[in-house]
Copies of this chain bind each other. A is one copy, B any other.
Amino acid sequence: MSKKTNEMSQILSQEKLASDVYSMWLRTEEIAKEASPGQFVSVYSRDGSRVLPRPISICEVSEDKRSLRLVYRVVGKGTEEFSMLKAGDRLSILGPLGNGFPLERAAGKRVFLMGGGIGIPPMVETAKALDGDKHIIAGYRDELFLQEELKRYGRVYTATEDGSAGTPGNVLDAMMANGLTKEEGREPEIIFACGPAPMLRAIKAYAQEMEIECWISMEERMACGVGACLACVCQSKEIDEHSKVHNKRVCKDGPVFLSTEVEL
């Protein structure tokens, strides 16, 4: 298990990738070193009126493991604040948190990385870390981002809701349109997915039907980020080993779960 640290990181760069999507590289002492793909960090606001951390997935770790990249969408006050920070500013973060994707399960398999919207960023580091035959399906609302990074580490298929690029529709549509099907012998042997709940629900159903091993990264509002407060639970199919009830903690037991383990 990776060692968690609360650090005052330093912002190395801040860049706008799309209308409301930003990318930030942060210099850390410990966190980048410990991080693995699919894990996230808690980012603390610098404004005293906001007391809860913002969980943001680790998009990339630099080769020297001294810095990490966060790619995030401005959706509220916290992310708006982050977007206004500049190189040189400092930012308190806690991490790495959560379990991350079980890369070892993908060994030798045709792995599909499916990211939707702001669920795309963790797929960059995941693709980077995986060897072998990687298919990356990226679903966007309209504007594209992180395409170059993704293309560096695998074959990329794109879907957009407004049809402005790639396949019109969602990630499953893009799979079908590109012949990534059982009929063609090109279906996934294992899926790693991250994105909005409706997308995850559809992927879970598809995987269940096709009997494909599928790992999904869940989202829930968080307070502690380390498994102590029980704010961020999702419902589990079976009684959970730790909680003794039908609840799993997204921050600690997840965010990545086997799709059959959890209710969506």
Specify which chain B residues have a CB less than 8 angstroms from the CB of A50 in the assembled complex. Answer: 48
- Expressed in whole angstroms, the Cα–Cα distance for A48 and B77 within the complex equals 11
Does A19 make an interface contact (CB < 8 A)? no
How many copies of the shown chain assemble into the complex?
A: 2
Residues 23 to 70 of chain A near chain B (Cβ within 8 Å)? 47-50
Chain B residues with Cβ below 8 Å from A47 are 47-49
Smallest Cβ-Cβ distance to A48: which chain B residue:
B49
- Give CA–CA (A49, B50) in the complex, Å: 9
Interface string of A85-108 (1 = CB under 8 A from B): 000000000000000000000000
Q: How many of A's residues come within 8 Å of B, CB to CB?
A: 4
Q: Which A residues from 145 to 176 make CB contacts under 8 A with B?
A: none
1/0 per position for A158-197, CB-CB distance to B under 8 A? 0000000000000000000000000000000000000000
Q: How far, in Å, is A74 (CB) from chain B's closest CB? A: 18
CB-defined contacts of A49 to chain B, threshold 8 Å? 47-49
For the complex formed, measure the closest distance between the CB of A233 and the CB atoms of chain B, giving whole angstroms.
Answer: 29
* Nearest-neighbor residue (CB-CB) of A50 within chain B: B48
Cα distance A240–B50 in the bound complex, in angstroms: 43
A48: B residues at CB distance < 8 A: 47-50
A50 and B48 CA atoms in complex are apart in Å by 8
Q: How far is the CB of A48 from chain B (nearest CB, A)?
A: 3
Q: Bound state CA distance, A7 and B75, in angstroms?
A: 28
**A48 to B50 Cα, complex, angstroms:** 8
Per the bound structure, the CA–CA distance linking A49 and B49 in Å amounts to 5
- What are 7 A-to-B residue pairs whose CB atoms are below 8 Å? A47-B47, A47-B48, A47-B49, A48-B48, A48-B49, A48-B50, A49-B49
Q: Nearest 7 A-B pairs (CB), nearest first? A: A48-B49, A47-B48, A49-B49, A47-B47, A48-B48, A48-B50, A47-B49
